[in-house]
């Protein structure tokens, strides 16, 4: 069994998608459609920067999605490899869950781009800049990270945001609480705490206003039928019902990204090959979670050609 997986925020970089766009009309059409949907030359920002514009949450989220969907379209149109025929399920990390839904036909490309632009704007607006923070805990498992977060909270919000792999957990919340947590890591047997260069405290209860905005948006443009099952971030469980997934996308804004558990669940169901489209962020995590499974990253035309030749 094979799972196709899609990266989240942090995987963006200036120059993304340029090789694919130069080599394939299928990729160019994706970038053009996203530009039109957003009424923004996002493809130029992706290709040329400036970096600070690309890293803005409202730009980074649709850009990462567009790059991954362009990679998928090239795989399908130029190499004849259809996701619905060669995959057993899909999953995505945070915003990558929207990309996964686009990949299986639950959202069209323009809708996905607009939802992610709104999601980025809503998440940024939910907490004033400087009030929230996030930190990566290296050498931490979920038990240690949870204990640390509870100790550091002191009446403020300090919650596990991402359970990425057996040795990396991300916490999110009020800036003071996150800074206290970083200072306490050694006391909880955690190797290191690193403050992340993010503009808002994602995936914690401080994001409730953003969740409310996404609930309204998703009520107007709900997901449709999924061509393949999806493993949802907030449950780490298989979803096939669009109405259930609509609710889970709202919960995802404030909820924990259970990536480690999601990969473990897919592997337990028989997935032996994970294929990451448009990034090289998830594959190292997958190898730590399900070491005996194969993890492949597809970014370039050479990557796609090599993968297609193995099928």
24 is catalytic: no
What are phi and psi for residue 72, nearest 5 degrees? -65, -45
Contact assessment for residue 63 and residue 13, using Cβ atoms and an 8 Å cutoff: no
Identified catalytic residue from 94, 172, 262, 297: 94
**For residue 149, which of 103, 114, 181, 108 has the smallest C-alpha distance?**
181
| Contact present, 114 and 38 (Cβ < 8 Å) | yes
Residue with tokens 């996701």: 83
- Tokens 């597809």 belong to which residue? 298
Ramachandran category for residue 47: left, alpha or beta (phi over 0 → left; psi -120 to 50 → alpha): alpha
What's the token pair of residue 298? 């597809």
Which residues on adjacent β-strands are paired with residue 294?
A: 273
How many CA atoms does the CB half-sphere of 213 hold within 13 Å? 17
For 15-36, what is the mean pLDDT?
97
C-alpha distance across the termini of the chain, in Å: 13
User: For the chain, what percent of residues have pLDDT higher than 90?
Assistant: 95
Please say if the pLDDT value at position 11 is more than 90: no
The CA distances from residue 229 to 7, 67, 237, 295, in Å, are 17, 22, 10, 19
0.85 exceeded by pTM: yes
The CATH number corresponding to 132-198 among 3.30.70.250, 3.40.50.300, 2.60.40.10, 3.40.50.2300 equals 3.30.70.250
Is 267 annotated in the active site? no
Q: Which has the closest alpha carbon to 65: 4, 14, 116? A: 116
pLDDT, tens digit (0-9, with 9 covering 90-100), for 73-130: 999 999 999 999 999 999 999 999 999 999 999 999 999 999 999 999 999 999 998 8
**Secondary structure letter of residue 147 according to DSSP:** H
Pick the catalytic residue: 203, 262, 267, 283? 203
Q: In whole angstroms, what is the distance from residue 167 CA to residue 61 CA?
A: 25
CATH level 2 (architecture), domain 2-126+206-309: 3-Layer(aba) Sandwich (3.40)
Cα 194 to chain centroid distance, Å, stands at 20
Q: Where are the alpha helices (DSSP H) in 24-56?
A: 25-38, 42-48, 51-54
**249-308 per-position pLDDT tens digit:** 999 999 999 999 999 999 999 999 999 999 999 999 999 999 899 999 999 999 999 999
Could you state, in order of their start, the residue ranges of all structural domains in the chain? 2-126+206-309, 132-198
């Amino acid at each position: 069994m094979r799972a196709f997986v899609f990266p989240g925020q942090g995987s963006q970089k200036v120059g993304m998608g340029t090789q694919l766009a130069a080599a394939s009309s299928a990729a160019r059409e994706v970038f053009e459609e996203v530009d039109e949907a957003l009424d923004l030359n996002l493809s130029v920002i992706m290709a040329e920067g400036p970096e600070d514009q690309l890293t803005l949450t409202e730009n980074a989220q649709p850009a990462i999605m567009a790059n991954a969907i362009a990679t998928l379209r090239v795989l399908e149109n130029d190499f004849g490899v259809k996701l619905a025929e060669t995959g057993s399920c899909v999953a995505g990390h945070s915003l990558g869950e929207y990309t996964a839904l686009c990949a299986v036909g639950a959202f069209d490309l323009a809708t996905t781009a607009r939802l992610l632009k709104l999601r980025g704007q809503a998440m940024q607006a939910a907490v004033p800049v400087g009030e929230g923070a996030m930190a990566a805990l290296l050498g931490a498992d979920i038990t240690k990270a949870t204990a640390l977060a509870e100790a550091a909270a002191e009446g403020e919000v300090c919650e596990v945001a991402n359970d990425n792999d057996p040795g990396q957990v991300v916490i999110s919340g009020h800036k003071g609480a996150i800074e206290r947590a970083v200072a306490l890591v050694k006391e909880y047997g955690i190797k290191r705490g690193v403050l992340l260069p993010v503009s808002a405290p994602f995936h914690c209860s401080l994001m409730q206003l953003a969740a409310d905005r996404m609930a309204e948006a998703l009520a107007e443009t709900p997901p449709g039928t999924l061509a393949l099952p999806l493993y949802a971030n907030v449950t780490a469980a298989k979803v096939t019902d669009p109405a259930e997934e609509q609710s889970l996308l709202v919960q995802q804004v404030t909820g924990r990204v259970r990536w480690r558990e999601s990969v473990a669940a897919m592997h337990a169901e028989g997935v032996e090959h994970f294929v990451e489209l448009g990034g090289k962020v998830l594959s190292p995590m997958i190898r730590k979670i399900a070491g005996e499974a194969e993890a492949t990253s597809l970014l370039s035309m050479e990557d796609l050609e090599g993968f297609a030749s193995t099928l």
